[in-house]
Every structure is written in C-alpha cells, then in structure tokens.
Structure 1
Amino acid sequence: MTQLTAITPDAFAQRNWQRYNSYAFAAHLHFIPALVTELSKLVPALPLGFIQHEAQFQLVALTALQPDSNLFVAPDGRWLAGYVPALLRSHPFGLARPEGGTEAVLCIDEASGLIVAAGAGEAFFEEDGQPAQSIKDVMNFLARVEHDRLLTQKTVDALQSANLIQPWALTVKHNEAAIQVSGIYRVDEATLNTLDETAWLALRRSAALPVAYAQLFSMNQIGVLEQASVTQKQLRSAPPPPSPLFRQPTPTLKDIGFSFSAEETLRFDWE
C-alpha cells in the first residue's frame, strides 16, 4: 500500500523531485479508478466496470481480469494503451487529509524513487518558501481530479440506488481451464431499458445516464484484454536487442492494429 508523506517546507526545502519515465508503478493495478470527465477517451481504449468497496460501487477502467497484474504496462515500463487514465498521471503525488483535519494536503510517495537531492530534478519550493510553479500545477491537477471523483461517485451512487448494477459474468483461461472472475460489475441493461419515466428522469437529472451508457459501450473493449495478454507474452519472450543503438521501441496496441486516441505526454494538466 502506498505511504504518502505530506510535503512541507521544513521536510522538503532541501530536496527535489523528478517526473516519472516509466509506468512500472502501475504494473500491479488490474483496475484504475475512472472519472466522468475522461469517459470519451476511456471508452475507445479500455473496458469499464464497477468494483465494490464496502457498501459503495466505484467506476473503474479494467486493465486485467486477474489481481496484481496490468496488461497495459510493458516489461520496459511503457504504457501500451492509447490513453493514460488521469489517476496515473498524478504519480507520485496525492492528496490526503490529516487525522482530525478538514483540508487536504499535498503528499508524495517517498518510496517512488522520484525524490532526489537539491540541484537535480525540480524544486518543491521557491527560495521564499512558496510552492514552486510545478508543484502548484500538481495541486491544481489533483484538486480537479478530486472534484471529478466526487462527481463520478455521485453518478455511480445514483445507478446503485436504481438497482442498475449487477455482477458481470467474466471468465479467464488458466491451464486451458475457464475460471470465473468475481468482484466485477456492470450496468443491468435490461433493467435500464424498463425503467419508468420517474426513475429515468431521476437518472438524467443526476447525470448518471452517460456513465451507464459509457460502461455498456465499453464492454466491447473486453477483447482488448486478451489481445494485450498476447502482446505481453510476445514482449516477454522476445530476445533482448543486440545493442542500444538498434533498440526498437516497445509497440503499443495502436501499433499492432488497435486505433485509440493518443496520450503520449507525461504532464500534470487536464485533458
């Protein structure tokens, strides 16, 4: 579990940070929380579903059907899908509320390997103790993510209240045997189509209908997981390049015939 440390002038004035150049930190994530503001980019790239946490459901992008694996992180750390979910682009930063506090504070994962000595990378603070511009950009990005996370959860709660979330019957092959996957949910399309006018209007007012249809449309992308599994096997079995001078870049799913929207840059902005 990620351990976040609050970024304060006393603790970080003499330390710098650098941006990640690998998605290896996400290699164990078989789902990634999704936001309503990125649905148009997620639907063509990844299947969407719901997972249950305590009494609530959460909208997620699926990157594998087996825990502790991510079929879209290449062995060399490259991201293989055509879109990088917003929650990944905030690495290694996060927001957390101190116990008893009301305001969220900016934190960083000290185990990320991205904290460096002063003089390298980017500064956390200016000489006057104010956050550096790059840190302000991170804070703004995370504030927007948190706003959209709350909005997303509100729409999912509306779908749950309307009894529109049901188990998704999925299977994976292991040693030629089909194994039932549990813990992943989908929109109940049949129930959605039979809602009365009052229930339908309630969902429309809560902005939950776009989420429902996005999840249903994205189910066609479940086959992308199988293709990504094949790509992973090919990449892991390929011999190493004879020389860095002749090294070929790791192919993305787009390179092998899947056309997705591109998200190639690593930056803290909203797209």
Structure 2
Amino acid sequence: MFYSKLVPVSPQTLGQSNWLRPTIFPLAVHHQFMPVCLSELPRAAAHLPIIFLGQDEDIAPRLMMSLVPGENHYFTPGGKCLEDYLPMVLRPYPFAKVRDSESGTDLLCIEEEYVVSPDTEDSIPIFTDEGQLTPHVTKIMQLIKLIEKERLVLNRATKLLNKLGILADWPVKIKIGQDKQHEYTGLKRVGRTYLHKLSAEHLPALHECAGLELAFAQIISSNHFRRLNKWANIRRKKEMEENKMAGEIFGDADADFLLNWEQDE
C-alpha cells in the first residue's frame, strides 16, 4: 500500500545491514483514505474525519485525509506529516508483512531504500550478532500483528453498525472555484437519530465488539472536514504561488472549497 520495493528480511541477506527510521512517507501522499485501528480511535478522532467506505461485507472505517481524490493533505507533497499524530498503519514503515505466494507463509520485509550499511549515522541494526531480530524490529513485528487484529475488530464492528441500520449515507459535495464540483458517493457516517432509537437489547453486542466506541469516535471526528477544507486551500494557494497562477482558477481562501453535507433527518 505504501511501499515501492520490498525485500525479505533474513540473516542471510541482511545479517550485516542496518536500517534507517523514516522521516517522510512519500508514497502516502496520494492516498485520500487510510485504514484506522481500534487503539488509535481517540487520537484519530482528534485529528481527522472518520468515515465508512464500501457496501455490505466490504464496508470498513477509514480516515479521510483530503477533500480531493488522489491527494493527501495531512502530509506535505514531500511526504512529511503535518502534525504529531501518525496513523497507526504507517508506524511499522519501512517494514511490512508480505504473504509468500509459493509457500503461503508470511514474510517480514523492508523497503529496500532504507537498508544501509552499519556505519551509516543514526542507523539501527536489523539482526543481533547471534542472527536474531533485534528487540526494536521484534516490536515492529508485534505492531504489524496488532494492526491486523485491530482492523479486523473495527471491520466487524462496522458490519454490525451497518446491519443494525445505524450507518447513514453521507452525501458530500465539494465545489472547487467557480465551476468545478465533485460529489462523493459511497461515504457513510453514524446517523445519530438512528443511534438514539436503537433498542437497548443491541447495546451489549455493540459494546462488546467496540461498535459504540467506533460510533462515538466517528461522530466526534465529523467537524474535521473544516480542517481538510483549510489544508486544501493552503495547498492550492502554495501551488498558485509556485506556478504563478494566482487568481486563474481559485478565489478567496474561504471560498475555494464549499462543503455541503446533509444532516440527519
């Protein structure tokens, strides 16, 4: 998802190599949506809108990173995160777990460009002198497993919310400049009216599967569309200055992106 060229991590090939901790995430800049995990819900809801994407069995929660398809305004064009919250799915980077198509086993891999020689400044060993993964890399492996587990939990919670009729379509229309308009389809949110009308007999099941926590996090995060609006305008203004195209398409900062989303009936 966020990788360019992965190589397997093994003592035979990387036993004498180190790795560098990334400071930028260049392949994230084109992802408008990212998965969200259970343990990060409070922080995620404080920084970005949480929405639901997909239909029926494929529906899942996502972080919305931009109003513009194909762009990520939570990161700079160079891949630097704008704030101190980094989405959990990016934290194992440059490591990843990959399923070997031949053996069917899972392999720990690393982005090749982050593999360096041991004398590289600020680099971290991959293996110990005994050929075992260092504690640091072991913790990253554990994080990868935790991310997979938590995503499954939230996916099940989302399916239950949808099955109980709590999720509602969320039509969002974005007007860019004077004549360009993009309408999102397929976005869903928690319908507060539907949540209030929910029978008490369903609350234990929602609580047990983290459905209530997810629902409240999504509701709280909704106002962050305004932050996406602000970041989009900042990005466009900077692009206009760099390309000397100010005023050709976009107007005032407060009018570039006009958002309209329907409220619960």
Count of matched residue positions in the alignment of Structure 1 and Structure 2: 237
**2:203 is the alignment partner of 1:196:** no
Residue of structure 1 equivalent to 2:167: 165
Whether contact under 8 Å (2:169, 2:188) holds in the other structure is yes
Shift of 1:217: 1.6
Give the 5 Å matches for 1:191-270.
191-237=194-240
Gaps of 5+ in 1: 240-271
Shift of 1:29: 1.2
1:19 and 1:82, CA in 2 relative to 1: closer, same or farther beyond 3 A? Answer: closer
Whether contact under 8 Å (1:65, 1:181) holds in the other structure is no
Please point out which of 74, 97, 100 is paired with 2:99. 97
| Greater RCO structure (CA 8 Å; 6+ sep) | 1
**2:131 is the alignment partner of 1:139:** no
Whether contact under 8 Å (1:155, 1:206) holds in the other structure is yes
**2:190 is the alignment partner of 1:187:** yes
Q: Distance in 2 between matches of 1:234 and 1:179?
A: 19
1:193 and 1:101, CA in 2 relative to 1: closer, same or farther beyond 3 A? Answer: farther
SS in 1 for 2:59: strand
1:7 and 1:39, CA in 2 relative to 1: closer, same or farther beyond 3 A? Answer: same
Q: What is the CA RMSD across the aligned residues, in angstroms?
A: 2.4
1:163 and 1:105, CA in 2 relative to 1: closer, same or farther beyond 3 A? Answer: farther
Using the size of structure 1 for normalisation, the TM-score is 0.77
Please point out which of 69, 78, 81 is paired with 1:79. 81
Q: Distance in 2 between matches of 1:215 and 1:57?
A: 14
Whether contact under 8 Å (2:57, 2:159) holds in the other structure is no
Q: Distance in 1 between matches of 2:13 and 2:219?
A: 47
Whether contact under 8 Å (2:18, 2:124) holds in the other structure is yes
Gaps of 5+ in 2: 243-265
Whether contact under 8 Å (2:37, 2:151) holds in the other structure is yes
1:189 and 1:74, CA in 2 relative to 1: closer, same or farther beyond 3 A? Answer: same
Shift of 1:237: 4.9
What's the % identity of the aligned pairs?
A: 25
Using the size of structure 2 for normalisation, the TM-score is 0.79
